[in-house]
Amino acid sequence: QAKYLAQIILVGAQVVGRAFMRALRQEFAASRAAADARGRSERPQSAAASRITGISLQEAQQILNVSNLNPEQIQKNYDHLFKVNDKSVGGSFYLQSKVVRAKERLDEELRIQAKDEKEKGWKAET
């Protein structure tokens, strides 16, 4: 009987192991597909900025709670969130660093947009 019990346990472990590996492969494939889709939806410069900063434009906008790229609103929300997440007032250094990264990402996007506008102005003049 112990032999049969050991076989049942072994077969059960193999089934569970295979199911786990299949689920893991599916999750990796879905993650890769989502990353590819995110990369395709952004302009090349914007996608590069997302890779460099490690944060997407959408995520940065969510963190700083801005729906459009208004520099004044971005700065206002950044100042507030940076202050309330200061460790000296019981805030979280992790959250404060996410706020800083989000601000850097949005500043980079504003710089990219300004460069695009400047290039469009040059093309219109010629």
Model pLDDT, residue 42: 54
Residue with more model confidence, 57 or 43: 57
CB within 8 A of 110, min separation 6: which ones?
69, 71, 74
pLDDT > 70? residue 14:
yes
CATH of 42-125 given 3.30.70.3280, 1.10.287.110, 1.10.10.10, 3.40.50.12780:
1.10.287.110
Residue 49, helix vs strand vs coil: helix
Going from the C-alpha of 69 to that of each of 55, 83, 88, 112, 120, the distances in angstroms are: 16, 21, 30, 12, 19
CB 64 within 8 A of CB 106: yes
Among 67, 71, 56, 69, CA closest to 102: 56
pLDDT > 60? residue 72:
yes
Model pLDDT, residue 61: 94
How do residues 75-108 score in pLDDT, each as one tens digit?
Answer: 999 999 999 999 899 999 999 999 999 999 999 8
How do residues 26-55 score in pLDDT, each as one tens digit?
Answer: 888 887 777 666 555 556 666 666 666 678
In terms of phi and psi (left: phi > 0; alpha: psi -120 to 50; beta: otherwise), the region of 54 is left
Model pLDDT, residue 121: 76
Domain residue extents for the chain: 1-41, 42-125
